[in-house]
Amino acid sequence: MGVSGGPVNKAVGQELASALPQDNKAWYSRSHLLKLNFIVLSLIQFSSGNGYDGSVMNGLQALPGWNEFMGGPTGAWLGFVNAIYWIGVGVVSPLAAMLANKYGRKLGVWVGYGFLIAGAILQTAANNAAAFIIARFLLGCASGFFSNAVPLLINEIAYPTHRGIVSATFNCGWYIGSILAACITYGTRNYVSSWSWRLPSLLQIVLPLLAVPGLLMCPESPRWLTASGRNEQARRVLTTFHAGGDSDAPLVNFEMIEIETTIASEQAAKNSASYLDMVKTKGNRWRLAITVSLAIFSQWSGNGVVSYYLALVLTTVGITDVSDQLLINVGLQLWNLIFSVTAAFLVDKLGRRLLFLASAGTMLTSYIIVTGLSGSFAQTVNAATGTAVVPFLFFFFAGYDIALTPLLVAYPCEIWPYALRSRGLTVTWVTAVVAIAFNTFVNPIALEAIAWKYYIVFVVVLVVMCLTAYFYYPETRGHSLEQMAWIFDGEDAVAPAPAETKERVLSLSYEAGSIVDEKTGTRTSISHNEKV
């Protein structure tokens, strides 16, 4: 995560790298980047809600008190209890996209807070199963607003050389929430009162509240400001957070040229963007196929069984003690956090394609082994065979964390042009919600009916994922958000060519009172009347 040109070309490309500061100072020695990354780190906490929900529901299913309160849900009823959260996500996602485009990226976050507070209070105070389910729906609505607005903000305010990493890190916040939930449910497992499940319900509000200071400091997206005709405000945001107050910095000029030219071209091509535009061009159809397939793979690769039904999976292999199940849940979430964050920091070094392929291969290998071991345990009821499933579940999630955790949100965010970016993210979440809803209804039924044989379905899905990633997922590192158009649209791209942007930056830099050497990127101050 350096700042100077040479070492970061893989992240942003040679042309943009030449516009970066050339003094080789580390980003953490620059106060404006420390502030910006504190803001981004705060925003990452908003992805914790989804992870908290999956983990807390795993924990609650292992608590006798919660099962008694809910009437011992099983099968389709248990599936509905889990799915209602994601139905809330899907219902509000189109509205969240509309708000993000019309009123700015930040408004949706504040709306999400309203749903979060209402849902957490109602779930904690629930006196019957219906109230608990309504609360889960409200919490899903909160997540729907957070999951649309926050990734857009992170992508559109991040420092260019950090964008790939921080964007990929957003969804890793899932495991921060899941770890907190796993630890809390483990700590309350022996409570004899209903607070064994009410306290975990209440504490899901903690991580989003910790993000409030960063959100208050967060600027509005400079791309949204430009699209709204507020170019000077956009320039001030970039000047403050990317250049430390230097309004003549080549980087600010480079970014503003790209943003203004691209958005102006998009607006000239059509008065407004709609979901129908996603199928009107070859490039957009390619983007849409990636978005939909990635969302499906993220939920149908077998992770849904373990994410929401770990207790059932462990029971099928002979691990039935509540404390053992909850401890495995805690360990799994820590494991996931380590691998997903590590992968997020490698997105620019290794590239997106390699991570996708490594992820699919790792998950496929581990699921084949889990299927075999589970089948053997069903035949032999050998405790050692059942226990052997556990490390391969961890191995599976290491594969999942390599790509599907960090890139589920980051990849769609970066491949769609500005006019369709929020809608592209909405398609991601709605598709994922449909896949999750199917899984949460079908998984418990299938696990009860055919047990380990159900895993064969996911082996087939993972084979399809390997082929899809190899043939259809392009490498995107080394490009700014605006330059992604050159990958998908080719000659039809509305973004300026990198060389063209660089040439204009050189001219603007001279007019501002300095010259930038085209080969080395070094900057020399001169007076306006000096001849060159």
* Residues 467, 520 within the same domain: no
Asked whether the beta carbons of 258 and 482 are under 8 A apart, the reply is yes
Give the count of domains, the chain. Answer: 2
- pLDDT digits over 455-465, tens only? 788 888 999 99
Which of 6-20, 31-45, 142-156, 418-432 is predicted with the least confidence, judged by mean pLDDT?
Answer: 6-20
186 in any annotated domain: yes
* CA quadruple 96, 102, 104, 107: dihedral sign: negative
Question: Would you give the distance in Å from CA 245 to the centre of its chain?
Answer: 30
Instruction: Kindly state the DSSP code that residue 220 receives in the 8-state scheme.
Output: P
Task: Give start and end residues of each alpha helix (H) in 188-249.
Answer: 195-202, 206-210, 212-217, 222-227, 231-242
* CA quadruple 373, 374, 380, 385: dihedral sign: positive
* Residues 460, 509 within the same domain: no
Q: How confident is the model at residue 479 (pLDDT cuts 50, 70, 90)?
A: confident
* Residues 323, 342 within the same domain: yes
- pLDDT digits over 8-46, tens only? 567 777 778 888 888 888 888 999 999 999 999 999 999
353 in any annotated domain: yes
The structure's pTM equals 0.84
Which of 79-93, 171-185, 382-396 is predicted with the least confidence, judged by mean pLDDT?
Answer: 382-396
CATH number, position 371: 1.20.1250.20
Overall average pLDDT of the 190-203 stretch: 90
Question: What confidence score (pLDDT) does residue 529 get?
Answer: 33
- For residue 389, pLDDT beyond 90: no
* Residues 403, 502 within the same domain: no
Question: What confidence score (pLDDT) does residue 272 get?
Answer: 56
* Residues 487, 519 within the same domain: no
Q: By residue range, what is the domain housing residue 520? A: 498-525
Please tell me which residue, 438 or 413, carries the higher pLDDT value. Answer: 413
- For residue 118, pLDDT beyond 60: yes
Asked whether the beta carbons of 112 and 211 are under 8 A apart, the reply is no
Which of 91-100, 141-150, 166-175, 308-317 is predicted with the least confidence, judged by mean pLDDT?
Answer: 308-317
Which of 109-123, 149-163, 387-401, 511-525 is predicted with the least confidence, judged by mean pLDDT?
Answer: 511-525
* Residues 324, 356 within the same domain: yes
Overall average pLDDT of the 383-393 stretch: 74
* Residues 81, 135 within the same domain: yes
439 in any annotated domain: yes
- pLDDT digits over 235-251, tens only? 999 999 999 999 889 99
303 in any annotated domain: yes
* Residues 288, 424 within the same domain: yes
* Residues 311, 331 within the same domain: yes
Overall average pLDDT of the 192-202 stretch: 91
Q: Report which listed range, 174-183, 304-313, 511-520, is most confident.
A: 174-183
Please tell me which residue, 201 or 269, carries the higher pLDDT value. Answer: 201
Question: What confidence score (pLDDT) does residue 379 get?
Answer: 67
278 in any annotated domain: yes
7 in any annotated domain: no
Determine the length of the chain: 532
- Burial-class residue 529 by CB neighbours within 10 Å (0-12, 13-18, 19+): exposed
Tell me how far apart the alpha carbons of residues 178 and 180 are, in angstroms, rounded to a whole number. Answer: 5
What is the β-pairing status of strands 523-525 and 514-516? antiparallel
Question: What confidence score (pLDDT) does residue 508 get?
Answer: 56
Q: Quick one: which of 433, 302, 325, 300 has its CA closest to 61?
A: 325
- Burial-class residue 342 by CB neighbours within 10 Å (0-12, 13-18, 19+): middle
Q: Which two tokens stand for residue 184?
A: 């809390």
Overall average pLDDT of the 138-161 stretch: 95
Q: Quick one: which of 41, 49, 44 has its CA closest to 206?
A: 49
CA atoms within 13 A on the CB side of 257: 23
Overall average pLDDT of the 311-333 stretch: 73
- pLDDT digits over 256-303, tens only? 988 988 888 887 766 557 889 899 899 999 999 999 999 999 988 877
11 in any annotated domain: no
The amino acid occupying position 467 is L
- For residue 366, pLDDT beyond 90: no
Question: What confidence score (pLDDT) does residue 295 get?
Answer: 95
* Residues 212, 152 within the same domain: yes
Question: What confidence score (pLDDT) does residue 56 get?
Answer: 84
| Cα dist from 482 to 225, 323, 487, 496, whole Å | 15, 50, 11, 8
Question: What confidence score (pLDDT) does residue 100 get?
Answer: 93
Q: How confident is the model at residue 221 (pLDDT cuts 50, 70, 90)?
A: very high
Mean pLDDT of the chain: 84
What backbone torsions phi and psi does residue 516 show, to the nearest 5 degrees? -115, 120
Question: What confidence score (pLDDT) does residue 433 get?
Answer: 86
Question: What confidence score (pLDDT) does residue 531 get?
Answer: 30
Question: What confidence score (pLDDT) does residue 186 get?
Answer: 82
Q: Which two tokens stand for residue 320?
A: 């039935």
Q: Which residues contact 511 (CB under 8 A, 6 or more apart)?
A: 528
Q: Quick one: which of 146, 183, 199 has its CA closest to 55?
A: 183
346 in any annotated domain: yes
- For residue 382, pLDDT beyond 60: yes
- pLDDT digits over 492-525, tens only? 766 666 666 666 655 655 444 444 554 455 554 4
